[in-house]
Structures are given as structure tokens and as C-alpha cells.
Structure 1
Amino acid sequence: MNKLLFALTGLALLGGCAIIHKPAPSEAGIANPEAWQARRDTLRDFSDWSLQGRVATGQLLGWTGNLSWRERAPKFDVRVSGPLGAGGMRAHGTLDRVVIDTDDGQHFVTTDPDTLVKKALGWSFPLEPLSYWAKGLPAPGGYARISVDDQGRLRSLTQRGWTVSYLDYSTPAGAPASLPRRVVLDNGETRIRLVVDRWFDLGGAAGDAGAG
């Protein structure tokens, strides 16, 4: 009888162990690893989106203009235009084949878009990683430093020579999670301020980036 009781007790304990979930690994700078993991899982497949916003650089002779970004992964279409639509460029395609058209009529096809984008604009614009940073996620690969709040939202990230700071988030209609509204990017040479005025075409839903 004692052996049977012992065996049943052991089975019960094993059954209890089967439902124990391993906690998300902790990492310096991440206040709530579980919330961060859940947010990354939610946004990982968020690949259909569009935004309209404004960009400005903090250089001595600063540049201000508009940003339009349409993402249908793996394809994207990015337009940066200055006042009255002048002084910008368009980049579209996939990261394996990026087509860049400048306002002065030049046409390029490249697999290294950031170099040509800098040539077109006169200042650095991290096109490839910004596809991830715009959603509040790190780009693929390692990063030097990260800060994530209790809600699992990215607050700052140092990656690929840039420090990305998230000042504000909003929750547009149709979005799977809150999305960045005000972001600052700084690589020590160029400081870019990005304000998202509107997130839309979010997997077929439309919404504005209101305060959140």
C-alpha cells in the first residue's frame, strides 16, 4: 500500500512539474522580461503597415521634411521629401535589391542602401534597421545596450552605431500593440528626430497615431 501511495504521489508531482513554465531569461536593462518577450512575439509578424511622419536633423544646417513609409514585407517603399516636396529621395524594393531615386533624377540599384541614401540626402538615414526600430524592436543581430520598461516597451537601444531613444508611444486602431510616436536616433554625427503623425494600413485596418 505504501509503495502504491508513493508511486501515485510521484506521478502527481511529475504532473505538476509538467505545467511549470520556465521564466523568461533576465537581461540587464529589461525591467519585465515576460512583457518584453510577449511584445516581441506580438510584433514579430507585424509586417504590413504604413506611416506618415516628419523628420528633422540636428546638424548645424538642419534639415526638416516629411517621411512616408509603406511596408509589405519583404517589400518596402520609403519616401523622404523636404519642404514643398524638394530635396529628398525614394527607396523601394527589398533589402536584397533596393532601388533609389533622387529628386535630381538619379537612379540607383543597390544592396547597400544606407551608403546611397546618405549620398542622396547629405546625411545618414539608417534605412534597413529602421524597418525594425520604427516598430520598437531591435534589428536582427546583436546590440550593445537596451532599456525596456515594465510594459515591455523599448525605451532606448544602442545598435549598429546608433542610439535610438523612444520618447512616446501611441496605440493606433488596428495595431497589435502600442507603437512608437516620437523617436530620436543619434550616431554621434547625425541626430534625427522622427515624429509619427499617423500609422495606417495596419494589416488592412486604418488608424491614427493619437496620444497614448
Structure 2
Amino acid sequence: MKKILFAVIGVALLGGCAIIHKPAPGEAGVANPKAWQVRQNTLDGFSHWSLQGRVATGQLLGWTGNLSWRERAPKFDVRLAGPLGAGGMRAHGTLHHVVIDTDDGKHFETSDPDALVKKTLGWSFPLQPLSYWAKGLPAPGDYQRISVDAKGRLRSLTQDGWTVSYLDYATPAGAPAPLPKRVVLDNGDTRIRLVVDRWFDLNASADNAG
């Protein structure tokens, strides 16, 4: 009888062990993996948006101006305008084929926009990954370091030779999640401060992409 009882207890214990799952290991630098995954899933389809902001570089002869970004994935339209509207450029197209027009009337087409933007402006502006970084997400591909807070918000990221720091977030009307408000980008040669004054046309119809 005792043998039967011990056998029943053993089966029950084995059965209990079968439903105990070891938690998935968290990624280094991510305080709350579940919240981070929810944020990524939420913003994965956030591909139609516009923002207006200000950009300043930390170089000795720094550049200060306005940024306008209109995203209707896979198309985008980015405008950088210096004081009195001079010293900037317009880049539009897709990340695989970009048309760049400068304020002095030059026209370029390229599949490597970041290199051409640096040549045009005289300083680096990470056009390709910024399409993702602007939303508070890593760009596709590997990254070297990440820091995500307990609410799932990206606080810092090292990727593609840049360190991106998120100083502040806001939740504009119609936004699916908090979006970056103040961002600093640094690649060792160029330090860029971005302040987003306004997010708008959030998840507007792709039919209006133009």
C-alpha cells in the first residue's frame, strides 16, 4: 500500500514539474523584456507619420536648423533647412533609392544616401537608421548595446557606429505609444541634438503618400 502511495505522489510531482517553465533569459540592458516586446510589436506597424523638429550639431562651427520628416513607408520625404531656409537639403524616395536636392540647385540620386548626405551637408546625418531611431526602435540588423527602461522605452542604443540617447518621451494625440521628444546622436565626429516639436499625421493612410 505504501509503495502504491509513493508511486502516486511521485507521478503527481513529476506532473507538476512538467508545467513549470523556466523564464526566457532577458536581454542585457533590458529592464522589462515583456514591456519591450510589447512596444516593438506596437510600433512595428507604425509606418505612416510626420514630425517637425529642430536639429543642432555640436561641432565647433555647428549647424542649426529645422527638420521636417514625412514617412509613408516605404517612402519618406526629409527636409533640413538652415537659418532663413538656407544651408539644407531635401531627401526623398525609399531607403534603397534616394533623391537629394540641395539648396544651391544640385540634384543627386543614390542608393547610399548617408554617404551622400555627409558630402552634401559637410557632417554626418544617419538618414537610413533614423527612420527607426526617430520612433525609439533599433534599425534592422545588429546593435552593440541597448538600454531599455521598465516601461519598455528605449533609453540608449549603440548601432551602426552611433550612440543614440533618448532624453525625453511624449505621447502625442493618436500615437500608439510614447514617442521620442529629445534625442542625442553621437558617432564620435558629429554630435546631433534633435528636439521634436510636433508629431502629426500619425498612421495616416498610405494612399496619401504621394
TM beyond 0.5: yes
State whether structure 2 residue 186 is matched by structure 1 residue 186: yes
Q: Does the C-alpha gap of structure 1 residues 24 and 98 become closer, same or farther in structure 2, counting only changes over 3 Å?
A: farther
Equivalent position of 1:208 in the other structure: none
Write the distance in 2 (CA, Å) between the matches of 1:110 and 1:37: 34
> 1: distance between equivalents of 2:150 and 2:111?
38
Partner of residue 51, structure 2: 51
Q: Deviations over 1:91-125 (max 9, x none)?
A: 00001110000011110110000011111111000
Matched residue of 2:120: which SS? helix
Q: Provide Cα deviations, 1:70-89, integer angstroms capped at 9, x if missing partner.
A: 00000000000000100000
Residue of structure 1 equivalent to 2:131: 131
Deviation, 1:25, is 3.8
CA distance in 1, matches of 2:44, 2:131: 12
For 1:90 and 1:181, the matched residues in 2 are separated by 22
The superposition leaves residues 134-193 of structure 1 with CA deviations (integer Å, 9 ceiling, x where unpaired) of 000000011110000000000000000000000000000000000000000000000000
Q: Which residue of 2 aligns with 1:209?
A: none
Structure 1 residues 53-92: aligned runs within 5 Å: 53-92=53-92
User: 1:34 maps to what in 2?
Assistant: 34
Structure number, greater radius of gyration: 2
Two-structure CA RMSD over aligned residues (Å): 1.9
Query: Cα distance 1:30–1:116, how it changes in 2: closer, same or farther (>3 A)?
Result: same
| Whole-angstrom distance in 2 between the partners of 1:131 and 1:44 | 12
Q: Which amino acid aligns with 1:192?
A: I
* Whole-angstrom distance in 1 between the partners of 2:190 and 2:88: 17
- Structure 1 residues 73 and 60: alpha-carbon distance in aligned structure 2, compared to 1, 3 A threshold: same
Aligned positions, number:
194
Q: What is residue 208 of structure 2 aligned with on the other side?
A: none
Task: Return the TM-score normalized by structure 2.
Answer: 0.87
Pair 1:38–1:79, CA change in 2 (3 A): same
Secondary structure of the corresponding residue to residue 152 of structure 1: coil
Name the residue aligned to 2:117: 117
Dislocated runs of 4+, deviation >3 Å: 20-25
CA contact (8 A) 1:24 1:37 kept: no
Give unmatched runs, 5+ long, in structure 2.
206-210
Q: TM-score, normalised by structure 1?
A: 0.86
The alignment partner of 1:181 has SS state of strand
